[in-house]
Amino acid sequence: MSKKLDLILGMLFAAATVIFITVFLTNDIFFSWAFERHHNILSWYIRPLFIIPIVIFAFKKSLTGIFVSIFALFTSMFWFPVPAESSPEVLSFLSYEMEYLKGAWTTPKILMSLLVPIFFVMLIIAAWKRSWKWLLGVVIGAAVLKVLWSVIFSGEAGLSILKPAIMGVIICVGGLYFYLRKRRAKGSVNKAEGEKMKKEVENFKEDHFI
């Protein structure tokens, strides 16, 4: 894919994400419809996993891949059907989250919400520059802050996201570790093959020109 096409498609999906968030927050019918499906905790487990493709595409410097993954992360909240029943903790936490999103947008809330785009920017920059320690810190730090925010503002109900958050971090870190290990192994093989070919060329020159 050319850089120009990658930029155009990436910006289209970035715009689609902004439009989705805007409609989600301003359209009460869509808001309720999406949250009904967000009661299915499968959506809680799948959302953190999109960090893996975001990082991989940032590593490859693919804007399309990055923003498609971010779009998928946000929309995955309604990918699954409405559950037959939900635990009291899940109902309590999501009830608080709905009230929080629909409540007045004060300056502290706006500043708190800015942490979401800041997280994505830091995540992408860390992967883009291949700063793996920074990347690990961003992933773990975001999970810790999410749990702390949930518990502080919604009480014990906030603990309902603890298991998905921990599993998400473990899978993300493990997945990225194996991806990087595989790339390094492939890089070592390619380097060895390159050195071998270089040596063969030098031997050929020596045999035929010296």
SS (H, E, C) 11-39: HHHHHHHHHHHHHHHHCHHHHHHHHHHHC
Average pLDDT over residues 101-108: 82
Segments forming the whole domain that contains residue 48: 3-180
* pLDDT value of position 204: 39
Question: If 0-12 CB within 10 Å is exposed, 13-18 middle and 19+ buried, where does residue 45 land?
Answer: middle
Is residue 63 situated within a structural domain?
A: yes
Alpha carbons 149 and 70: distance in angstroms, whole number = 21
Is residue 205 situated within a structural domain?
A: no
Is residue 130 situated within a structural domain?
A: yes
Q: Which residue has the tokens 């929080």?
A: 100
| Long-range pairs, 177-186, Cβ under 8 A, ≥24 | 179/52, 179/56, 180/132
Average pLDDT over residues 28-39: 89
* pLDDT value of position 130: 83
Is residue 75 situated within a structural domain?
A: yes
Is residue 72 situated within a structural domain?
A: yes
Alpha carbons 78 and 33: distance in angstroms, whole number = 8
Q: pLDDT by residue (tens digit) across 116-173?
A: 888 889 889 988 888 878 888 888 887 777 777 666 665 666 566 666 777 777 877 7
Number of domains in the chain: 1
Is residue 159 situated within a structural domain?
A: yes
Structure tokens that stand for 176 in this block: 């990225």
Average pLDDT, the chain: 79
* pLDDT value of position 13: 94
Is residue 117 situated within a structural domain?
A: yes
Is residue 108 situated within a structural domain?
A: yes
